[in-house]
């Protein structure tokens, strides 16, 4: 499978973005995807401006996923990753996180760490974080409300620039209260 990343173009890609976000079920993402809201956010620059960049994840030429990089004007950006249901389980998540980690640390020399958050029950994403050198740094109980009103735990991961450069993982000191 050939994987590449193509930068989102607000003028040309908004229709495709609307179709992508409204045409799938995103079980581990908060909020409802509505066409008018997506178009408004795209027009306001939410998907491509100084603080954010969005990329299509292309697998064999098909728009199989979307990577949105956020907080680019800060030293700790975050990201949103979505992979179409028909492409899940094929390694695209790991490829995307590896790519975005290298992209952020290469393109933004001021970035010292990258953060990502997911629901506790999103086992696939949690495994991807670990495979890509991210360390678990937080666990917030009942912090992620679902559309059905169920509260899930939120789990945060991060990678440090120095760990990415050295190929190591520095774990937090979880026993610092003793």
> Could you tell me which residue, 72 or 34, shows the higher pLDDT?
72
Does domain 3-166 fall under CATH 3.40.50.300? My reply is no
Single pTM value for the model: 0.94
Q: Check pLDDT > 70 for residue 18.
A: yes
Q: How large is the average pLDDT for residues 9-14? A: 90
- State yes or no: pLDDT of 143 exceeds 90: yes
CA-based nearest residue to 37, from 52, 18, 24, 15: 18
Mean residue pLDDT of the chain comes to 94
- The rounded distance, in Å, linking the Cα atoms of 103 and 29 is 23
d(CA 101, CA 107): 10
Tell me, what's the pLDDT at 108? 96
Which DSSP category does 108 fall into? Answer: -
Cα–Cα dist 59/6, whole Å: 11
Note every long-range contact of 167-173, with CB atoms under 8 Å and residues 24 or more positions apart, other chains counting.
167/133, 169/133, 169/134, 169/135, 170/135, 171/135, 172/135, 172/136, 172/137
pLDDT (tens digit, 9 = 90+) per residue, 35-68? 999 999 999 989 999 999 999 999 999 999 999 9
Cβ–Cβ < 8 Å for 136, 129: yes
pLDDT the model gives residue 25: 84
């Amino acid at each position: 499978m050939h994987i590449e990343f193509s930068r989102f173009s607000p003028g040309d890609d908004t229709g495709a973005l609307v179709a992508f976000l409204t045409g799938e079920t995103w079980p581990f993402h908060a909020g409802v995807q509505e066409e008018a809201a997506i178009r408004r956010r795209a027009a306001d620059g939410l998907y491509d401006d100084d603080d954010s960049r969005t990329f299509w994840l292309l697998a064999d030429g098909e728009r199989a996923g979307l990577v949105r990089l956020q907080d680019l004007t800060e030293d700790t950006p975050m990201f949103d990753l979505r992979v179409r249901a028909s492409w899940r389980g094929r390694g695209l998540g790991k490829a995307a996180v590896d790519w975005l980690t290298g992209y952020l640390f290469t393109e933004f020399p001021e970035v010292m760490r990258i953060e990502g958050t997911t629901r506790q029950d999103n086992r696939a994403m949690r495994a991807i974080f670990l495979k890509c050198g991210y360390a678990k740094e937080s666990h917030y109980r009942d912090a992620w409300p679902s559309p059905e009103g169920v509260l899930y735990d939120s789990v945060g991961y991060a990678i440090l620039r120095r760990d990415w450069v050295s190929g190591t993982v520095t774990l937090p000191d979880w026993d610092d209260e003793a």
